[in-house]
């Protein structure tokens, strides 16, 4: 394999998909046919603080790596060769101990840490394969302006962690699976045309939205499904002021009639911002919903546009700029 000299130039690589040809800066292939055999090697090769995108093609294969995208690796794009056959996985879990005998905790269990702003991913599977052993995160995102399209996220408790408290994230046409609190955190995150699958029993969300954020987790035109009947809540507040909205979603019988849980603390009912609008399906009727959730009016629902959710003013202090994900255009 020819050695890449980053200070001179990037290698121009072409990946053909139908009639389209897309240039990639690096190719990762587990069989050694690309520029790197591991994903982390490709991340490390990206020059720090690039303003232009660095596109990385990941060939089909199972890549068992604990991955970190540092803050200095900006505007990195992962593109998988095949969503179901390109798998980034690891198997840490919260109660696992490090070499000093300390538990690594929920955050430490993450298979993939995303710190670099402007990250995007397409056609990939992200997984924590530890199994039903408590908290075990597949992806933790603290960066701003992060997007995923046609990706799968597998785990049990705490699968997906949109953790950044000054972070905007966009998930489109994705599949997310888990048990307890399997989408949780502080970030402003939109899930559009996604499928959420609840395994066993639990809670789809555990938001900890900041009080000053106008939006938290927003589900637009999603499918909410899973195992059993009445086995899942739409969400419970990990912290006061949790903010979650389901708009125009198909909600299956897996959702309990009351919809929402207060995490055993009635005080959370005073601050939680749990709203619904225009949903359908066996779990969508609102007659038995908890009284502290809200059904939006058409005027209120009209405020849930990508332009407004991702605007600079969607939280305080404001973001530096407005943002519209490329995958949404």
Residue 253 has pLDDT above 70, yes or no: yes
Name the pLDDT band for 10 (thresholds 50, 70, 90): very low
187-231 pLDDT tens trace? 999 999 999 999 999 999 999 999 999 999 999 999 999 999 999
State the pLDDT at residue 304.
98
The answer to whether the beta carbons of residues 132 and 126 sit under 8 Å apart is no
144-190 pLDDT tens trace? 999 999 999 999 999 999 999 999 999 999 999 999 999 999 999 99
State the pLDDT at residue 327.
73
What would the mean pLDDT of 12-16 be, rounded to a whole number? 45
90-121 pLDDT tens trace? 999 999 999 999 999 999 999 999 999 999 99
67-76 pLDDT tens trace? 999 999 999 9
Instruction: Return d(Cα 292, Cα 145) in angstroms, integer.
Output: 32
Name the pLDDT band for 11 (thresholds 50, 70, 90): very low
294-309 pLDDT tens trace? 999 999 999 999 999 9
* 100's tokens: 């000093």
For residue 206, give the nearest of 156, 149, 160 by alpha carbon.
Answer: 160
Name the pLDDT band for 326 (thresholds 50, 70, 90): confident
Cα angle value 28/153/229 (rounded, 5°): 160
Domains and CATH numbers, the chain: 65-311 (2.160.20.10)
Name the pLDDT band for 22 (thresholds 50, 70, 90): low
What would the mean pLDDT of 224-240 be, rounded to a whole number? 98
Give me the percent of the chain exceeding a pLDDT of 70. 93
What residues are labeled active site?
Answer: 158, 181
Residue 13 has pLDDT above 80, yes or no: no
State the pLDDT at residue 8.
30
Cα angle value 127/327/40 (rounded, 5°): 40
Rounded to the nearest angstrom, the gap between the alpha carbon of residue 139 and the centroid of all alpha carbons in its chain is 7
Mean pLDDT (the chain, rounded):
94
């Amino acid at each position: 394999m020819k050695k890449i000299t980053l200070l001179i130039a990037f290698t121009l690589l072409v990946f053909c998909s139908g009639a389209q040809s897309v240039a990639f800066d690096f190719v990762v292939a587990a069989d050694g046919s690309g520029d790197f055999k591991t994903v982390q090697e490709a991340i490390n090769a990206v020059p720090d603080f690039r303003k232009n995108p660095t596109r990385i093609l990941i060939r089909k294969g199972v890549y068992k790596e604990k991955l970190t995208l540092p803050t200095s690796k900006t505007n990195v794009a992962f593109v998988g060769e095949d969503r179901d056959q390109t798998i980034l996985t690891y198997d840490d879990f919260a109660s696992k101990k490090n070499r000093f005998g300390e538990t690594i905790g929920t955050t430490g269990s993450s298979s993939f840490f995303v710190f670099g702003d402007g990250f995007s991913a397409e056609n990939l599977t992200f997984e924590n394969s530890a199994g039903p052993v408590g908290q075990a995160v597949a992806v933790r995102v603290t960066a701003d302006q992060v997007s995923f399209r046609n990706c799968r996220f597998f785990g049990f408790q705490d699968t997906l962690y949109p953790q950044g408290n000054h972070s905007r994230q966009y998930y489109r046409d994705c599949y997310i699976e888990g048990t307890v609190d399997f989408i949780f955190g502080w970030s402003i995150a939109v899930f559009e045309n996604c499928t959420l699958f609840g395994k066993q029993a639990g809670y789809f969300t555990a938001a900890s939205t900041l009080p000053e954020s106008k939006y938290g987790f927003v589900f637009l035109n999603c499918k909410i499904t899973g195992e059993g009947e009445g086995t899942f809540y739409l969400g419970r507040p990990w912290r006061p002021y949790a903010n979650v909205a389901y708009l125009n979603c198909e909600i299956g019988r897996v959702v309990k009639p009351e919809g929402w849980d207060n995490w055993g603390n009635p005080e959370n009912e005073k601050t939680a911002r749990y709203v619904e609008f225009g949903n359908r399906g066996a779990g969508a009727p609102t007659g038995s919903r908890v009284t502290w959730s809200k059904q939006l009016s058409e005027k209120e629902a009209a405020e849930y546009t990508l332009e407004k959710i991702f605007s600079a003013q969607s939280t305080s202090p404001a973001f530096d700029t407005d943002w519209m994900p490329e995958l949404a255009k």
